[in-house]
Amino acid sequence: MSSFKFTGLCTATHTPFDSEGGLNLAAVEPQAKFLRSHGITSVFIGGTTGESSSLTLAERLDLSDRWSKVGPDVGIDVIVHVGANCLTDAAALAARAERNQAKAVSMIAPSYFKPRTINDLIGCCEMVARAAPNTPFYYYDIPGMTGITGFPADQFLEQAADRIPNLAGIKYSNPDLAAYRKARALAGGRFDMPFGVDEMFLAAMQAGATAGVGSTYNFNPGPLQRVISALTKGDTALAEAEQAKVQPVVDILAKRGYMGAAKALMGHLGVPLGPARLPNGNPDAAETKKMIGELEAIGFFSWNF
């Protein structure tokens, strides 16, 4: 298995659609070049931000194939989210990701029929990880979306380690930092724990995080890049000031429906990724203009561009 480990900021990318909502693979290359031009060197594709639950298996396989070509060509490592309610689909996505030489795979557990015990959760992950045995595997803990709770990260890692040989860690999109600290300390810090709540990134770094995976890095990477730099220099005040620039942007987008608003913002930045798919909604032209005005008013465009 490769020695991959998350570092810095890994962008959870949007899946590009055309104006009618069809998959638009031609947009992946300009999307990747835009991210690389803003200091991003790794992406997490087909996850929550990528609207994976609204994609067909065929679309997800095609997306993985396209990023596997484009990412390395522009200097970006590709991590593929493979989770699905159907574990057979998840395993097929993991196998394709390994064939495409993805740096890692990650999965949410099935969340319609939820695992009832930690043994069931590990069994789900074991089945999918086995389909990509030479690729680092990360469980994706995001209880706010899956509704899967009650399985502390440290207990999962302790019990899963012997059953999943390629277990590398957890993509931790969970606001419970006390549980995060326990998992980070497990086995002398053996497991990789990239953090996925952008609004809490500084607190997570102070709890031991060394990397993040987030959606705001698509359009607002500057503040958290500077958080990392400031902490390296011991400048906590600057780190706090930069972290404070994340929440207002999230709030401006979220009140319009975060997914559609984020994709509209990307279009404004010159990276047209199409609309979000239902059940996510999209702001109309007038609302998008109002959103851009609010972002201008807080100085957003001077932070990154």
Active-site amino acid positions:
140, 171
Q: Which of 270, 237, 208 is nearest to 37 (CA)?
A: 270
The residue ranges of DSSP E strands in the chain, in sequence order, are: 8-12, 42-45, 77-81, 104-107, 137-141, 167-172, 211-214
The alpha helices in 1-117, defined as continuous H runs, are: 28-37, 57-74, 87-99
CA gap 23, 42 in Å, rounded: 22
| AA identity, residue 34 | F
Instruction: State how beta strands 104-107 and 77-81 pair.
Output: parallel
Sheet containing 42-45: order of strands: 167-172, 137-141, 104-107, 77-81, 42-45, 8-12, 211-214
- DSSP 8-state assignment for residue 182: H
